[in-house]
Structures are given as structure tokens and as C-alpha cells.
Amino acid sequence: MLFSMLVPVMAGPFEDAVAKFANDDYSDSEDAVGAIATSGNPLAFSIISALQDGRLMADPDAKKIYVTQPDGKSIDALTGAAVASVPDSAAAVRLNNHLRRAVEAALGGLTLSSPDPEKRILAAQSVYKGHDEAMLPLIDGALQKETNKSAKQALTEARAAILLFKDDATEQQKLEAIATIKARGDQEALAMLTDVPADAPPAVAHAATAAVSAIQQRLALWSVVQNAWYGLSLGSVLLLAAIGLAITFGVMGVINMAHGEMVMIGAYVTFVVQQTIRSHFPGLFDYSLVFAVPLAFIVAGAIGVVIERTIIRFLYGRPLETLLATWGLSLVLQQAVRTMFGPTNQEVANPSWMSGAFQLGQISITYNRLWILCFTMAVFAILLAMLRYTALGLEMRAVTQNRRMAASMGIATSRVDALTFGLGSGIAGIAGVALSQIDNVSPNLGQSYIIDSFMVVVFGGVGNLWGTLVGAFTLGIANKFLEPVAGAVLGKIAILVLIILFIQKRPRGLFALKGRAVEA
């Protein structure tokens, strides 16, 4: 009895802290985490990481603590010695949300000396969130040795967060901390400054209030930028889906309700290419889209030529019958894909260079959306160059402006129609390649874009590619700014109503084509 009473007195800080885990008390466990993290003991990281993962076992009868390692073996938390097995009376040390934050901060402090700058930054961010004042000596020591600019900034912010809530910090230290956190300017900084105690010195409270107001204004501006980026991203998708339709609708006057199915076919070509590469050439997976783009263009374009030659050519001048025929064809194509690939979504993965995101100020930009925007603009530029500098482009523009005059000048308008329909379908196919990276690949993929594509084409001006470009980005940005206010469904309805009103004033869209036949 006397020996057991003397053990706490004789034990060192580390031993005393480890023993607290056996008390099954959240406050004692939090005190233990802080003491262990600052003890410098080589077992500190193993113990606290085991606590985070539910692998720290406490035996209340023997007052012994064990660490169950990821490989299944166990050690004594106090000595690091291996143990044959953990007693049946031992149970995992419990965690609550407050204790979890303390654990994250402690682990962050323990990795501040990692040779990897990224790990040091993550560690500093963990300390920033927990702002445990026990970590201040470790932060100060790490700051003195830090040479990496980003890591030093993260450590400075972590130090500011600690000082802001440290009871014995001077008023000047707190004001400097507020300035540092204000410069960070994100949601976490806003939440931290909002939590400044009400009984803080007047100068500190006033500085915190002013910083909160400044951050809110800055975040509102970044929110506008984020919505604009989302609008550009949506606009690039709409442009890619509508640009082929602008060609066929503009040159031939065909209301092609099967255009969305050309997009779907391009997406399934991407799926087949990726499956083939996975099975036979796994090392080439990052280049799968390089192979899928030309194949999707060829397959969808060939199907488009066949459709024009077998169905569309007999229905020129009868737009309602063309609409019904292509709508029926879209159902046939959807059912054919369901028969071949099944009705469920198919997995199409992002190559490594299209995965992930990066921060630009306070907005997040995903690589797949950025690449799709660049790809869309490249397709648009190539198509413009083709229309301007090739014989087929010259013939297409001639047929668009005055079909009869073009025919009298020796242009084979039927051949131009077939090639134009194939070109529009091929572009829809490569749109499907891009959309497979951000949307579900299913038989219904094309139906999600066909209505929006027609709205873009009509709004921009039938047959005018520049009008399609402006129309796509205008509708995309307008949609993303209306969604937060009216909701996704009401936002689309509002856009549709606005387009109807606009068409009442300008029936030919933003950019009307010029030509005698058009003007007639």
C-alpha cells in the first residue's frame, strides 16, 4: 500500500502522464496528451497516434497502458517493451470531440521537425486548429530552424493562434496575432477571430471585430470569383456539347434530337479505350484520353454520316418530321447502348494529370475542369481555323449563307451536308470524352445536355460559332450566379424564361448570320 502511494511521487512527468489514461476521464486524458507531446520521449508519437486510431488500451485494474501496433503486436506504452498479449480487462481509451482536437494538435506538434516540408506544413496547420498553448515552445523552436517559406508562414499562423487565446499573452502580442490571422483571410481565420472571448481587452476585441468584417468582405469577393469560375467551367461544358449542334443546325437547319446520343457514344468510346488499356497496356493509362479523343471523333462522326445518308437527307425542309425522327433515333441508340453495356453507370477514371485540385487565393480549382476548359477552347480554335482556311470550311460557309447560290457555283451541297453532319457528330463525340471525366457515363448522359445545347445555339445565334461561345459562357455564368439565390431548378427555369423573352426581341440570337438567303 505504501509503495503504491509513493509511485506517483517518484514517477517522472512522462510516467505520470501515461498513467492518467487508466483513469477513463476525458480531462485526465487531455492533460496526458499535452504532457506526453512535450516530454520529448521517443514513444510519444506512437502513444498519441494509437490514441487517435483507437489502439491505445488501458487496463484499469493493473493501471497499465498498452499500444496495439498496426501490425497487430503490442507494446507497453511506458517502456516500449513487447508484450505477449493485452489483458482481457484492458479497453480502448475513449475519445470525445474536444480530446480529438487536442490529439490532432499534439500530433501536429510532434511532426514539426519532419524533414518533409509538406508534413511540417500539415503539422503547423493542426497546431493552428487546436491552438494548444503547450505547443508554443515547439512552435518557437521550429520557427527558428525553418527555412521553407510556406512552412514558416504556417508556423507563424500557428503561433498567432496560440497567442490569441493564451491567457498571459500581452495585448501587443494578441494584436499582432490578430493581424497575422486576418492576413490568412479564410473561413478558418474567420471562425477563430469570431471566437475571441468577450472579456478580451477593448483594443483586442475592436481589432478582432474589424478583422472579422474585413475577412467577410474579402470572402464575399472570393465567392463572386468562385461562382464566376464555376460559371466558366459550366460554360465550357455547354460550349463543347453545343458546338457540334451549332454546325449542323446552322448549315442544315436540322433539329437533331439525337445530338446528345453522339455525346454519349463518345463517352462510351472513352470507357472502352480505358478498359482495353487497363487489360493489355496498364502503363499507358495516363495517355488513355489521347487515344480516346480521335477514336471518339471517328466513331461518332461515322455514325453521324450514316444517319445523314439514311434518315436526315429525306427530311430536309420538314423540321417537325426531322425532330420526331431524330428523337426516335435517340431512343434506339440509348437502348442499343443499354443492350451492349448495361443500364448502370460505367467507371471512367481520371488520368493522374487530371486528378486533384489546387488553391488560387480562396478558391479551389480542380484540374479536370481546368483541362476541359483548355480543351474546349482548343477545339473551338481548331474549328474556326478549319472553317476559315480549308476548302470544306469555305463550302460550309457558302451553303450556310445561300444554299441555292452555292449549288449553282458547283458545290455539291449533299456532300457538304453529309460531311457537316459528320463533323458536328464527331465534335459531339469528343465532347463525350471530356464529359466522361466529370459526369456519370450512362445511356442517359446525352439527355442532360441536349436542351441546354439548343438554348445555347438559339441564344447565341444559329450557325454562328462566336455566338455559341458567348452564349455558352453567358448562360453558364448566369446559371451559377442564380443557383445560390433561386436554387438549381428555379435557376434553370429563370434562365429559360429570360431566353424566351430575349428571343422575342432578337429572334436570330445575339449574333445573326448575314447573307441574302438568311435575310430573306
Question: How many Cα atoms occupy the beta-carbon half-sphere of 485 within 13 Å?
Answer: 12
Which residue shows C-alpha cell 463550302? 395
Contacts of 229 (CB under 8 A, 6+ apart): 363, 365
Distances (CA, A) of 338 to 265, 329, 332, 334, 440: 12, 14, 10, 6, 14
Contact 189, 181 (CB under 8 A): yes
Q: Which residues of the chain, if any, have pLDDT below 50? A: 1-11, 515-520
Contacts of 198 (CB under 8 A, 6+ apart): 205
Res 246: pLDDT:
83
> Is the pTM above the cut of 0.75?
no
Contact 250, 399 (CB under 8 A): no
Q: How far apart are CA 354 and CA 339, in angstroms?
A: 31
Distances (CA, A) of 491 to 120, 280, 481: 44, 46, 9
Which tens digits make up the pLDDT trace of 268-287? 999 999 999 988 888 888 89
- Other Cβ atoms less than 10 A from the Cβ of 389: the count is 9
Helix (H, G, I), strand (E, B) or coil at 109: helix
Q: How far apart are CA 421 and CA 356, in angstroms?
A: 36
Res 97: pLDDT:
86
C-alpha angle 62-66-71 in degrees, rounded to nearest 5: 150
Res 302: pLDDT:
94
Helix (H, G, I), strand (E, B) or coil at 357: strand
